[in-house]
Amino acid sequence: MTTFPLLKLPALAINEVARRIEPSDIIQLTMISARFKRYFTQNKLFLDTLTWEMPASMSLKFSKFSIAISVEQNCPDSRPRKVNNSIMQISVNRKRNEPLTRWHLKHDACHWDLLENLTIHLLSILNVKHFDFTSEFLISSYNKLFVWKYAEKFKTIAILPWLKNPALLSQENMLHFLEVVKTDELQFNAKCEHFQYTGSVKCSKLNLGELSWVTNEFLKNMECKEVLLRGDSGANLNYNELFRHWIDGEGNEILEEFDVSFGDKTQCDPKKFLEGIELEMSILR
């Protein structure tokens, strides 16, 4: 068998070779070869978006390729790989001429430990532009997840966005998303018993699917460009007061779009929204 000393080539030549190798193969090579990993630790690959998809998945989005990673109990044809000083069983599946590669991690221990070890390895060789976090299932302790240690700011955080009924969170977890984590877009479909929030949320886009905890003070204090409020629980809020404060230059000065959508159970008079406010048509649709 003839071998080729790739890592003995000049850096420019190695970069050219790396450009012709798919990201999935490069990442696997960094798990096999310590020298290969050291090279990409110093010459990181560019990754557009890393997404943690709870409870047991991740995805990597490159410019032309994507990797979907899931933790599973049954993992046929898996091979051992060294990841963050531990051995991980990984199987890789990719159909010909498709940009998506699927990784399956064998679940022998806590799946969060597996994902954290993989995260540490990936961040050592990848230059990540955006981080996303999605939770499709309820997790009891969001604030204790490992993900918050590895990203200072997120592009999108989505908490149970597709559930018809909102999730019931503890006050500690509610405040974690409203006050601790930083994100450009927050999609939040959760509530908390005996909890009313009067603080402020700072993000570009805010999408709330449950409004039982929302107060008029919160609507006045929030700092968001686009706001979407939906659900029957927000019919008691004083939107007219919000608009008056906004027109008078008080409260949210960066607000550009405000959308309220009630459910079928809510009886609401739209005229009360703009009562006492003079309107001038400026956009025809």
pLDDT tens readout for residues 101-133: 999 888 766 678 889 999 999 999 999 999 999
Range of the domain at 218: 152-260
Inside any domain, residue 227 = yes
Inside any domain, residue 90 = no
How far apart CA 233 and CA 211 sit, in angstroms, is 5
Inside any domain, residue 224 = yes
Overall domain count for the chain: 1
How far apart CA 232 and CA 201 sit, in angstroms, is 21
| pLDDT (0 to 100) of residue 98 | 80
Answer yes or no: are the C-beta atoms of 210 and 233 closer than 8 Å: yes
- Look at the chain and count its residues: 285
Q: In this structure, what is the dihedral angle of CA atoms 16, 17, 20, 24, given to the nearest 10 degrees?
A: -120
| pLDDT (0 to 100) of residue 145 | 94
- pTM, rounded to two decimals: 0.88
Answer yes or no: are the C-beta atoms of 250 and 216 closer than 8 Å: no
Inside any domain, residue 64 = no
How far apart CA 4 and CA 55 sit, in angstroms, is 41
Q: What pLDDT tens digit does each residue of the chain (285 aa) get?
A: 466 666 677 767 777 776 778 899 899 989 988 888 888 898 899 999 999 998 889 999 999 899 999 998 887 778 888 888 888 889 998 877 788 999 988 876 667 888 999 999 999 999 999 999 999 888 889 999 999 999 999 999 999 866 777 889 999 999 999 999 999 999 999 999 999 999 999 999 999 989 999 998 998 889 999 999 987 777 678 888 888 888 887 777 888 898 888 766 666 666 777 787 877 766 655
| pLDDT (0 to 100) of residue 266 | 62
Inside any domain, residue 168 = yes
Inside any domain, residue 93 = no
Inside any domain, residue 61 = no
Distances in whole angstroms, Cα of residue 97 to Cα of each of 35, 62, 64, 94, 164 = 30, 16, 12, 9, 37
What does the DSSP 8-state code read for residue 228? E
Inside any domain, residue 162 = yes
